[in-house]
Structure 1
Amino acid sequence: MLLAWVLVNLIKNLPTAHITRPGTASVVFNSFSGLQRGRVLRPGAAFLTPGVERGIPYEVRIQVWEFTDQSTSRVASNPVSAIAADGQSFSINVNIALRLNPDTLDDLHAKIGENYILTSVVPLVRSKFRDVAAKFQSEDFYRRDRRLEVEKQAKELINAELPKTQKDGKNVPMMSVEWVYMETAAFPPALRESIEKKQVAGILAQTAGVRAQIQQKETDRALILAKANERAIELKGRAALLGGP
């Protein structure tokens, strides 16, 4: 009986394989000593002590998170509310592509935890997007070039303040935003209609300007041809006089 008990306990305490799936990395938590700092399991099999050690997986591929009121599996929070430089309030759906740094997962788990989206990412994205939006006019959110500039500045500000940690004496980001994408801004209907009318008027004015330039070029061309014809007639007249009896 004693031998059987010893064998059972030996089998129970044999290391078991922990599988880390492709696209993920795992930190290791020890029931007695806590998180094993400096140990991050990459895709593949690793042996852990049953009942003592367990692997906690994190997605390290790019994850797209949405700030929207729609029901999807990628929702981080509801739409972002902001105020443009001209004082107009609006809300907008924002999407971000986030990637965790696998080299710093142990620090991420220790300092922030698995709920990093709600505790770190969501409030930072909201804050920085509002900061950027306050620099742009309402109509800028309907212009492609200005929208791209908003997205660029938002990405830069967010990445500058995402959590970092010390690794080998260097300040290393625990995560990074690969891109920011804005959907259509939801301004009050009256303002949106006014902006759209202004845009149409601008397009018409631009078209009229182009047409005026074309007409001017045609006029200049006609004048040049007329002067050329006049000069040709004058030269022919002189030639006739010189060739006369």
Structure 2
Amino acid sequence: MDNRKFLPFIVIGVIGLFILFGLSSSIFYTIEAGERAVIFKKFQGGLDKDNVIPQGFGMKAPWNDIYVYDVKESSVEEKMDVLDKNGLSINVDVTLRFHPIYDEVGYLHENFGTGYVNTLVIPEVRSAVRQVMGRFTAEEIYSTKRSEVETMIKTETERSLMQNNCQMKALLIRSINLPDQIRAAIENKLKQEQEALAYQFRLDKEKSEAERKRIAADGEAIANKIINSSLTPELLKMRGIEATLELAKSPNSKVVVVGSGKDGMPLILGNN
């Protein structure tokens, strides 16, 4: 049997294998855990942004391009100088944790591309920090309204990222640093305010105590006035007779002097 007639097919097959091997990286792809991908189809309408490719093995036409996104939670740290309401420079250290919205990777790629962290995330964080802190004074940011400032920055950053297909997981303001002279002035002012509040508290306490004593004294005076007005001679005489009778019934030894004392009352002398 003459095998030479199969030689062209063998050559074609070998060439095909070499071509397939050479193009394998352009045909086959693997999406790892924690990744999503989108395909750009050059001859079929461009970016297929509505069909996000999940993890796993797949094939594509060699002329199409695939873009892989890491959708695991990531973080960025930013140190920036911002201005307060009065134009004072403040140094802020911020950490943001985020990830792309899994099913919206195509739209994220269309609008920002694979460098979305630098073109979207960091600028939005910086913008939110600057805008919010520009509404407050350094003293408010440093002390009385720090919690409110942090909440507003988180809310504005989260809203902006969500509108652009990213989800914020957390935003942490690690530090807020003022110039030493300004910080010392603020701390001294806060100390004086605390001392003034403590002094006012003591004054209020003393006023309250004085008022309590005045009310108690007024009540006692009114009570004494009522008692004094009710102590008539007849009442006192009756109470004396009652007391004498009770003492007479007592088993304790006593001396009773029968006679007319003041108001006609007997005198009773006794001991145990």
The alignment's TM-score, normalised by the length of structure 1, stands at 0.74
SS at match of 2:114: coil
Deviation at 1:189, TM superposition (A): 0.8
1:147 aligns with 2:146: yes
1:216 has 2:207 as partner: yes
C-alpha separation in 2, matches of 1:17 and 1:82: 45
Q: Are 2:235 and 1:243 equivalent residues in the alignment? A: yes
Q: Distance in 1 between matches of 2:130 and 2:117?
A: 18
- Look up the equivalent residue of 1:37 and give its one-letter code: K
Change over 3 Å in CA distance of 1:235–1:64 after alignment to 2:
farther
Structure having the higher Rg: 2
Q: Which moved more, 1:5-14 or 1:151-160?
A: 5-14
How far apart are 1:51 and its partner, in Å? Answer: 5.3
User: How big is each residue's C-alpha offset from its partner over 1:184-242, in whole Å with a ceiling of 9 and x where there is no partner?
Assistant: 32221111100111111122222222333322222222222222222332233233237
* CA shift for structure 1 position 93: 0.7
1:118 maps to: 118
Contact 1:20 1:41 in 2 (8 A): no
> 1:73 maps to what in 2?
none
d(CA) in 1 for partners of 2:16, 2:171: 57
- 1:18-37 to structure 2, matched below 5 A, reads 18-22=30-34, 24-29=35-40, 35-37=47-49
1:202 aligns with 2:193: yes
Q: Which amino acid aligns with 1:147?
A: R
In the alignment, does 2:192 pair up with 1:183?
Answer: no
SS state at 2:231 partner: helix
- Aligned pairs, how many? 223
Matching residue of 2:89: 89
Task: Write the distance in 2 (CA, Å) between the matches of 1:156 and 1:103.
Answer: 23
Residue 36 of structure 2 aligns with an amino acid whose one-letter code is A
Letter in 1 for 2:59: L
Secondary structure at the aligned position of 2:77 is classed as strand
Deviation of the 1:100 alpha carbon: 1.8
Deviations 1:54-110 (Å, cap 9, x if unpaired)? 75443334433210xxxxxxxxxxx12111112211211122232322221012112
Q: d(CA) in 2 for partners of 1:216 and 1:46?
A: 81
Distance 1:234-1:63 versus aligned 2 partners, 3 A rule: farther
Q: Pairwise mapping of residues 39-118 of structure 1 onto structure 2 (< 5 A)?
A: 39-42=51-54, 44-49=55-60, 56-67=67-78, 79-118=79-118
- Shift in CA distance, 11/184, structure 1 to aligned 2, threshold 3 Å: closer
Provide the identity percentage: 21
Conserved in 1, the CA contact under 8 Å of 2:139 and 2:186?
A: yes
Q: CA RMSD in A?
A: 3.2
What runs of 5+ residues in structure 1 fail to find an aligned partner?
Answer: 68-78, 165-172
SS, match of residue 204 in structure 2: helix
Deviation at 1:159, TM superposition (A): 4.4
- Partner of 2:259 in structure 1? none
- Which structure has more helix as a fraction of its residues? 2
Question: Matches of 2:123 and 2:16 in 1, distance apart?
Answer: 53
Judged with a 3 Å threshold, the aligned counterparts in structure 2 of structure 1 residues 224 and 63 are, in CA distance, closer, same or farther, namely: farther
Report the alpha carbon displacement of residue 126 of structure 1 after superposing the two structures with TM.
Answer: 1.9
Question: TM-score w.r.t. structure 2 length?
Answer: 0.67
For residues 155-200 of structure 1, give each alpha carbon's deviation from its aligned partner in whole angstroms, at most 9, with x where no partner exists.
Answer: 3443454484xxxxxxxx3124344332332221111100111111
1:38 alignment partner in structure 2: 50
Higher RCO (C-alpha under 8 Å, 6+ residues apart): 1
Kept after mapping to 1: 8 A contact 2:37/2:66: yes
**Structure 2 contact 92–173 (Cα < 8 Å) conserved:** yes
